[in-house]
Amino acid sequence: MKKILLILAMLIPLSGIAQDDSLKFKEYQLKKIGANYFNYSDPEKFNFEVVVWGGVRNPGIYLVPDGTTLITLIALTGTATDETIYEDFKLIRTKQKSGTLKSDSAYIISYKDLFDKEIKGAINKPNPVLQPGDIIVFPIKPEKDFWEIAQRVAGVFIVPLFTLGTLIISILNYSK
């Protein structure tokens, strides 16, 4: 009897914080969510998935509403790991449901083509509206060459050593 009373004593207060029907997740909120799945869906619109590959901060699958443009998706992917990846990236548009790619379905897009340098931030070319199944491929930052590595090593090790040496020589000269 004591066990039943103890269980009831624990359950009765919990019933006050139980979830009511107005707080239940809607169907669109129960979409799959993973490390590389980004849900930007709009429950009032048709939503579809777009795949982003390559050297952006957040590559993966994006669930976006109808009417999403390429520039909007680029903004959603986060900053680039290297600015040069925006020079030439590809928009691959599958035209058939079979998933086979044809040469006329890949468009090479340059950031410089999208934006006019003369008017900062002005859209120079049409901003394509994304379609279901589109794949955007950004190049991955190329390997660093010898001089880039040497410059980094110099910045981290050699410059502080020269600075420390100069400081020591200055202190010794000042103390004389």
Note the pLDDT tens digit of each residue in 5-36. 556 555 565 555 554 444 444 444 445 566 78
pTM above 0.85, yes or no: no
* Tokens linked to 168: 């020591």
Give the residue carrying structure tokens 């707080």. 23
Mean pLDDT lowest among 64-78, 109-123, 155-169? 109-123
pLDDT of residue 65: 94
The percentage of residues in the chain with a pLDDT greater than 70, rounded to a whole number, is 62
Whether 53 and 89 have beta carbons less than 8 Å apart is answered as no
Same domain, 72 and 149: no
pLDDT of residue 121: 54
pLDDT of residue 14: 52
Residue 63 has pLDDT above 90, yes or no: yes
Query: What is the pLDDT of the chain when averaged over all its residues?
Result: 75
Summarize the confidence of residues 36-55 as an average pLDDT: 91
* 12: in domain: no
* Sign of the torsion angle spanned by Cα atoms 49, 94, 77, 46: negative
**Distance from C-alpha of 30 to C-alpha of 20, rounded to nearest angstrom:** 17
Query: Range of 106's domain?
Result: 29-142
HSE-CB at 141 with a 13 A cutoff on CA atoms is 10
Residue 61 has pLDDT above 90, yes or no: yes
Number of domains in the chain: 2
Same domain, 174 and 94: no
Same domain, 55 and 130: yes
Note the pLDDT tens digit of each residue in 124-145. 567 788 999 899 998 887 667 7
- In DSSP terms, which residues pair with 64 in a beta bridge? 48
